[in-house]
């Protein structure tokens, strides 16, 4: 499937230095299918906004108004800034950069607190706590089967779409 290149300049401009900009485009594809008008509903209430599906409260913490989050450039900037925070939440702690990115994407999706609980559970049970595939399985203890599958699939889809973008398949 071919995706629009309309927002590529913003991904290139705001992508954190530790990862390829196409990784964040892949994230936006998973989040909103690159729809700048996307809005989610959470518990019957308005939820995340825009390409990167930023929650208004998160946007506010990052210095963006809800109205600004409707602007594709500002939404991508906010999403990339938030991902930078999530990435550095796992530094130090996760040595491998790709694994750290997986933990960061999982944190973006399921919350850092839930991922940390799963990691502590892995440590307590003698499992490899720097391996997302192991910690992802432990997440079920804290978020349930459906939410765990959603988060594990979210991370996997981002990396799959990123590979396809790099190979020119989409």
Residue 22: predicted pLDDT? 96
Amino acid 143: pLDDT: 93
> Could you tell me the pLDDT band of residue 1, with boundaries at 50, 70 and 90?
low
Examine the pLDDT at 168 and tell me if it is beyond 80. Answer: no
Mean pLDDT, the chain, rounded, equals 93
3-state secondary structure labels for all residues of the chain: CCCCCCCHHHHHHHCCCCCCHHHHHHHHHHHHCCCCCCEEEECCEEEEECCCCECHHHHHHCCCCHHHHCCHHHHHHHHHHHHHHHHHHCCCCCCCHHHHHHHHHHHHHHCHHHHHHHHHHHHHCCCCCCCHHHHHHHCHHHHHHHHHHHHHHHHHHHHHHHHHHHCCCC
Q: What pLDDT does residue 158 have?
A: 97
Angle at 147 between CA 144 and CA 151, to 5 degrees: 130
Q: What is the mean pLDDT of residues 144-153?
A: 94
Average pLDDT over residues 116-132: 95
Looking at residues 35-63, what average pLDDT do you find?
A: 91
Going by pLDDT thresholds of 50, 70 and 90, the confidence category of residue 3 is: confident
Rounded mean pLDDT of 53-59?
A: 95
- Using CA atoms, how far apart are residues 87 and 103, in angstroms rounded to an integer? 8
Residue 81 above 90 pLDDT?
yes
Give the model's pLDDT for residue 169: 66
Average pLDDT of the residues in 109-132: 95
Residue 141 token pair: 């203890």
Domains along the sequence of the chain with CATH = 1-82 (1.10.530.10), 90-170 (no CATH)
Quick check: 132 pLDDT over 90? yes
Percent of the chain with pLDDT over 90: 85
What is the pLDDT at residue 127?
94
């Amino acid at each position: 499937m071919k995706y629009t290149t309309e927002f590529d300049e913003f991904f290139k401009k705001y992508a954190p230095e530790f990862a390829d900009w196409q990784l964040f485009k892949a994230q936006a594809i998973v989040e909103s299918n690159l729809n700048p008008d996307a809005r989610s509903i959470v518990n019957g209430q308005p939820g995340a906004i825009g390409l990167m599906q930023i929650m208004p409260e998160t946007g506010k913490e990052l210095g963006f108004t809800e109205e600004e989050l409707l602007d594709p450039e500002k939404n991508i900037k906010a999403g990339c800034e938030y991902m930078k925070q999530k990435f550095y939440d796992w530094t130090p702690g996760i040595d491998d950069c790709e694994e750290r990115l997986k933990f960061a994407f999982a944190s973006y999706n399921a919350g850092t607190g839930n991922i940390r609980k799963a990691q502590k559970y892995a440590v307590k049970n003698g499992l490899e706590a720097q391996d997302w595939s192991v910690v992802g399985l432990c997440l079920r203890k804290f978020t349930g089967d459906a939410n765990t599958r959603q988060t594990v699939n979210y991370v996997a889809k981002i990396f799959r779409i990123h590979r396809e973008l790099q190979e020119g398949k989409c």
